[in-house]
């Protein structure tokens, strides 16, 4: 196996022997700038640990947010019952009925409602209540015997400041929402009041984000789950932490542990340790949240294609590919989708015909040569490899923060399009993390699982754990 501390291991595969000296000099410099050596990963893990520790001690804008989620009850996989979940996103409201079967399996019935412009601007809370009312009626759902309401988990994908398991104040609207009289108010109260107005017998018992949902979904099917990760359009993670390791937590301690939401896309916004290139900076300076979520912009599906487009255009501008020409499509930001990268890096045909189709038919770049196509494939591979190595670095850093867990089997629930669809992403997560977590642990005890639909199933499972703990403490 190549020595991943030797910078040449990151350069040699990307040179093109039939290309000019000038082209290869540029490819060499580009590959070196995207390289993430093993020593660089060790530096990143060290930086991650310092940032995690600072974020657990206090709210510090320069540290990872490390948000306490108030989720303290683990699922065992043996719980039974039917619970509701609401998943409010930027486009749709999903209402889900999740039935837990008690044998680590569950079933899901769901309905999607497109959020109207009127709801986005004014009637959101009543709109949610009306949709839930329709769902209950269509599926003939009623509160359990002896109860006045059906317990519900709420995945809310807008920024909130959480103040308890079932309350969170809206920090700000985004995604085109402008509902008045909502910012700084408790979104659970606003939703619950609408349920009362519309006589909908549902009680929101938990509010959470989708990463916590991913962790809990995996935890029901695999009770040894310690971490949930999303590697998709965006990226984030949540993990179980001992309360004694969270100095900023001032609430009561019922179980000795809590799920912490890392918000790790915000790691190293100052780029002290991350391998930041001019192609990243070009993306960053043109993005609405300039200088924020820098780590996310290096590894998530929304951004990888754009970094690759910037890098290819840098070669175009030196007339080293496409004869110095581009196309109207390729000149526009975000037209080189990360899905195209997946197709390109998988192309093993002798004349790279898949790459040719993407470049010529989809992106309208005329008459590419085989050399052009090889260069584009190599650039995509440089950036994809950096992405998965940085992803493995973050996963390893979080697991190494709980070293006492590593003597046992550890499951990690993962969702998202990068994990599911980017070529060899899961395989490479295992391969890279072996260096830092140890071969014995990774080969024998680390289990990565696809945990689909954390925002639906996971929200219902959190509702179940809250409901169970309430009864236990009643």
How many residues are given for the chain?
474
Q: Check if the beta carbon of residue 280 is closer than 8 Å to that of residue 297.
A: yes
Buried b / exposed e over 28-43, threshold 16 CB at 10 Å, is: bebbbbbbbbbebbeb
Catalytic residue status for 94 = yes
Which residues are within 8 A (CB) of 431 and not within 5 positions of it... i.e. 6 or more apart? none
Helix axes 338-345, 301-317, angle to 10 degrees: 70
Residue given tokens 């993962």 in the structure block: 414
Give CA–CA dist 448/210, Å, rounded: 18
What are 259's two structure tokens? Answer: 């799920």
Catalytic residue among 94, 373, 386, 389: 94
Instruction: Report how far residue 336's alpha carbon sits from residue 172's, in angstroms, rounded to the nearest whole number.
Output: 31
The answer to whether 139 and 154 are in contact (CB under 8 A) is no
Q: Which of 186, 210, 337, 467 is catalytic?
A: 210
Whether 396 is catalytic is no
Choose, from 122, 149, 157, 167, the residue flagged as catalytic. 157
| CA–CA distance, 187 with 170 (Å, rounded to integer) | 6
What sign does the dihedral 157-217-385-44 (CA atoms) show? positive
Q: Which residue, chain included where needed, has tokens 């991350």?
A: 274
Annotation marks residue 157 as catalytic:
yes
Give the pair of three-digit tokens for residue 43: 């530096």
Known catalytic residues?
94, 157, 210
């Amino acid at each position: 196996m190549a020595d991943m501390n030797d910078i040449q291991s990151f350069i040699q595969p990307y040179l093109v022997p039939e290309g000019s000296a000038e082209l290869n000099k540029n490819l060499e410099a580009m590959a070196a700038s995207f390289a993430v050596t093993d020593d660089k990963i060790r530096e990143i893990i060290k930086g991650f640990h310092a940032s995690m520790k600072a974020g657990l001690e206090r709210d510090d804008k320069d540290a990872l947010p490390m948000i306490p989620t108030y989720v303290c009850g683990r699922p065992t996989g043996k719980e039974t019952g039917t619970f509701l979940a609401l998943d409010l996103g930027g486009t749709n409201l999903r209402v889900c009925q999740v039935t837990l079967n008690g044998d680590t399996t569950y079933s899901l019935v769901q309905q999607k409602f497109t959020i109207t412009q009127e709801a986005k601007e004014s009637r959101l809370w009543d709109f949610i209540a009306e949709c839930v009312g329709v769902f209950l009626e269509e599926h003939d759902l009623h509160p359990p015997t002896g109860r006045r309401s059906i317990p519900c988990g709420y995945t809310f994908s807008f920024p909130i400041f959480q103040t308890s398991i079932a309350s969170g104040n809206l920090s700000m609207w985004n995604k085109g929402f402008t509902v008045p009289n909502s910012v700084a108010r408790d979104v659970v109260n606003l939703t619950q009041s609408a349920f009362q107005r519309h006589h909908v017998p549902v009680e929101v018992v938990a509010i959470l984000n989708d990463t916590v949902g991913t962790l809990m979904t995996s935890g029901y099917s695999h009770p040894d789950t310690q971490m949930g990760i999303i590697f998709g359009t965006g990226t984030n993670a949540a993990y179980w932490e001992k309360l004694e390791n969270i100095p900023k937590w001032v609430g009561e301690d019922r179980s000795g542990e809590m799920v912490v939401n890392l918000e790790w896309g915000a790691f190293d916004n100052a780029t002290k340790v991350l391998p930041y290139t001019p192609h990243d900076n070009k993306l960053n300076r043109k993005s609405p949240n300039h200088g924020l979520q820098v780590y996310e912009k290096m590894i998530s599906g929304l951004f990888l294609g754009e970094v690759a487009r910037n890098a290819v255009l840098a070669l175009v501008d030196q007339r080293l590919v496409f004869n110095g020409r581009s196309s109207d499509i390729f000149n526009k930001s975000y037209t080189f989708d990360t899905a195209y990268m997946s197709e390109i890096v998988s192309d093993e045909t002798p004349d790279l015909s898949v790459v040719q189709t993407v470049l010529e038919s989809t992106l309208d770049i005329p008459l590419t040569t085989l050399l052009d196509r090889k260069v584009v494939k190599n650039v995509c591979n440089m950036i994809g490899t950096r992405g998965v190595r940085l992803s493995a670095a973050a996963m390893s850093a979080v697991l190494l923060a709980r070293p006492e867990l590593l003597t046992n089997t550890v499951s990690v629930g993962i969702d998202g399009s990068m994990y599911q669809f980017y070529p060899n992403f899961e395989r490479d997560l295992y391969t890279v993390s072996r260096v830092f977590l140890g071969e014995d642990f990774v080969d024998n005890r680390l289990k990565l699982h696809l945990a689909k639909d954390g925002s639906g199933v996971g929200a219902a499972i959190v509702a179940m754990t809250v409901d169970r703990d309430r009864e236990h403490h009643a």
